[in-house]
Structure 1
Amino acid sequence: MTTQNSAILLFRNTMRINDGHLDGFRDAIARAVDFAQQHGPQLMVETFVDEEQMLAHSFQLYRDSDAVRLHWQLADPYIKEVMEHCRVERFEVFGEPDADVVESVRSALGDQCPLTFSPRVAGFVRFAQSPET
């Protein structure tokens, strides 16, 4: 299926928060998301924490593989800071990134967690418009 959204990528990163690091994780992820909102290429970033299970779920929506590469380039210090407080437990890629992004994700994760790729079949993106003032 070829549409204007055929290159869209959605990443879901499930992270196990280290014991005693919940507050540090929350602070680091807040700084990372704030940076992404101000400077990053993501169309959407949402992070959720299950305190009972000490798991965090981060969802990031990208226009294409170029946007993913730009995010990595800009956000590396923030990613490193977040990773001081957690480890990746599962990483899921929805959509079809180019070969360079696939290899980079595989290389970064190594054997530390399951990694899955699910190709896009159909869909659309609708973001609410801000009322004009």
Structure 2
Amino acid sequence: MTTQNDTTLLFRNTMRITDGHLESFRSAIVRAVEFAQQHGPQLMVQTFVDEERMLAHSFQLYRDSDAVRTHWKIADPYIQEVMKHCRVERFEVFGEPDTDVVAGVRSGVGEQCSLTFSPRIAGFVRFTAASQA
């Protein structure tokens, strides 16, 4: 059965924060998330920091592959600013992006980190129109 949720994509990005860059990383993430909240296509963005291990975990939920492409197009300056203070250690894609997004993710992370793709088995989303505003 095909539903609207069949195209939903969840990205989990695990970043290693550069020593001495924690506060700059935090500031860059806050600016990037504020931009995404105002202008981005994401349905959800959440970022968490494990200061003891100097790791950050970012989760981004997209409606479909077109939304990912839109994000890449409009948010590149913010992504570049964040990347000045960390490196991607692991990138996980949950769902089935189209071939262009798969290629974009692969080229974006290159050989620098572990990259996995996990197709959906089952699920649902409870977001309402009011919570997406």
TM-score for both structures, normalised by structure 2: 0.95
Q: CA deviation at 1:3?
A: 1.4
Tell me whether 1:61 sits opposite 2:85 in the alignment.
no
Q: CA deviation at 1:127?
A: 2.5
RMSD: 1.3
**Residues 6-64 of structure 1: CA deviation (Å, up to 9, x unaligned):** 00000000000000000000000000000000000000000000000000000000000
Tell me whether 1:47 sits opposite 2:37 in the alignment.
no
Q: Report the Cα distance in structure 1 between the residues aligned to 2:120 and 2:87, rounded to whole angstroms.
A: 27
Which residue of structure 2 lines up, in the alignment, with residue 9 of structure 1?
A: 9
Query: What is the aligned-residue identity percentage?
Result: 79
Which residue of structure 2 lines up, in the alignment, with residue 74 of structure 1?
A: 74
Which residue of structure 1 lines up, in the alignment, with residue 20 of structure 2?
A: 20
List gaps (5 residues or longer) in structure 2: none
List gaps (5 residues or longer) in structure 1: none
Aligned residues: 131
The verdict on how the C-alpha distance between 1:129 and 1:7 changes in structure 2, with shifts beyond 3 A counting, is: closer
Q: Report the Cα distance in structure 2 between the residues aligned to 1:98 and 1:89, rounded to whole angstroms.
A: 23
Q: CA deviation at 1:124?
A: 0.6
Name the structure where helix makes up a greater proportion of residues: 2
Q: CA deviation at 1:130?
A: 5.2
Q: Report the Cα distance in structure 1 between the residues aligned to 2:67 and 2:129, rounded to whole angstroms.
A: 22
